[in-house]
Amino acid sequence: MFAPLTFHQTLRPAFSDLARFNTTRELESSSLYRKLKTDIDRVLSHTWREDFAPYDVDAGDHVRAVAWNIERGIRLDAVTELLQEHPALVNADVLLLSEVDFGMARTQNRFVAREIASALRLNYAFAPCYIALTKGAGVEKDADGENAESLHGNALLSRFPLHRVHSLPLPNGKDKMKGAEKRIGSQRAVIADVDHPAGAFRAVALHLDAHSSQRHRHLQMRCVLDHLERLEPALPVLIGGDWNTTTHDASRALYSILGYFRRVLMGVRHVVSNHYPYPERWFERALFRELGRRGYNYPDFNTPGECTLHYNVSNITANLNMREWVPNWCFWFITWALDRTGGSCSMKLDWFAGKGLEPLAPAVAVAQLWSDNKPVSDHDPIVLGFTTT
């Protein structure tokens, strides 16, 4: 269940030295990294698994799936309570979770996936994407205490047995050693065969890179689809998660700035109404066309134009995080532009796609999830019912 012993014995004492490198190339060229590479690879390729679900689970004739970026698990207790009690989220057969911490100071060094699985009596698989050499970005840098396991990744949870569990590393869209938040690793898709009584299917929890280009997100999706085509046995497939279809090229601050200028020239209201909620129409169309060419249905699996992330210029936390990779003057420009839409905009970032599956209805976003006058996550979960065909 816990990190390999070599993680504590050999990696932890080297964290401060590893964090001194400013690029991945510098890091991987160093004698220190070469000395530790075997242990680093062992941690990043490991998948944590436990079974908490009872064997006599009642099952319906269809599957209920929830995909949710839970923002590290910062509001873990509230997330868990909602998954236990909210009418739209309760009794999900499978959870596809993005941004899941294991031993990070910003989330009180809790094992987020395991705690949710234990509380809900679910089986789980957690795959680390990154070994974090710092506490995080923005306000996370001021978290009390120090990191323990220092891992961040994605997770797949289910009421039913998980078979052939593994993770797939994806190419990075940005050098993770550049900037204040230094990390070793890359995004990983978590993949498992779910033995549901209504019909087995393959589930993929997928989080595409935020700080990347539209072309790179398309590349990451192609890597996933190529891998799925090679897997045996052939099964129906559900892919869900935060695909970061912002319509922006965020691989570099300059590209982001130029992209904002372009959208202002296109008309802020036009972009907010016709592109942010519909990234598949133009800016991210290559990714979605790829899904269609490979036989994956996304139009029937998602409510058209239903956004899952909502930004407001008054959001201090979001602004502090953004200031780590765009200049301060950009916030004046963003505020000026969004004045035309009341200081806010929403985006469609979270998706389902299926192959060999039949949705009962398009997925629905569950909005306005607050606890103690704070949002539980910066993303809305999406909920889908489907059958295997």
Residue 61 falls within a domain, yes or no?
yes
Cα separation, 45 vs 103, in Å, equals 17
pTM of the model: 0.95
pLDDT of residue 327: 63
pLDDT of residue 5: 56
Cis peptide before 233 (omega within 30 of 0): yes
Cα separation, 96 vs 298, in Å, equals 16
Cα separation, 172 vs 212, in Å, equals 8
Cα separation, 37 vs 387, in Å, equals 43
C-alpha of 265 from chain center: 31
pLDDT of residue 228: 98
Is 70 in contact with 79 (CB distance < 8 Å)? yes
Cα separation, 153 vs 101, in Å, equals 6
**E strand residue ranges, the chain:** 48-51, 63-72, 94-102, 123-132, 151-158, 162-169, 183-185, 188-194, 201-205, 237-242, 309-312, 344-347, 350-355, 357-359, 364-365, 370-371, 374-375, 382-388
CA distances from 54 to 16, 58, 117 (A): 43, 10, 12
Residue 52: strand, helix, or coil: coil
Instruction: For residue 131, give the DSSP letter.
Output: E
Domain that holds residue 226: 49-245+284-308+348-388
Residue 352 falls within a domain, yes or no?
yes
Residue 374 falls within a domain, yes or no?
yes
Residue 25 falls within a domain, yes or no?
no
pLDDT of residue 334: 80
Residue 137 falls within a domain, yes or no?
yes
pLDDT of residue 10: 78
Residue 141 falls within a domain, yes or no?
yes
Residue 10 falls within a domain, yes or no?
no
Residue ranges in the chain whose pLDDT is less than 70: 1-8, 316-329, 331
Strands 382-388 and 63-72 turn out to be: antiparallel
CA distances from 203 to 96, 153, 155, 234, 237 (A): 8, 16, 11, 12, 6
pLDDT of residue 322: 59
Type of residue found at 374: K
C-alpha of 137 from chain center: 16
pLDDT of residue 9: 73
Cα separation, 113 vs 123, in Å, equals 10
pLDDT of residue 4: 64
For the chain, the domain total comes to 1
Q: Compute how many other C-beta atoms are within 10 angstroms of the C-beta atom of residue 166.
A: 15
pLDDT of residue 191: 98
In the chain, % helix, strand, coil (3-state, to 5) comes to: 35, 25, 40
pLDDT of residue 6: 59
Indicate which CATH number applies to the domain containing 215: 3.60.10.10
Q: What would the pLDDT profile of 146-190 be if each residue is shown by its tens digit?
A: 999 999 999 999 999 999 999 999 999 999 999 889 999 999 999
Residue 211 falls within a domain, yes or no?
yes
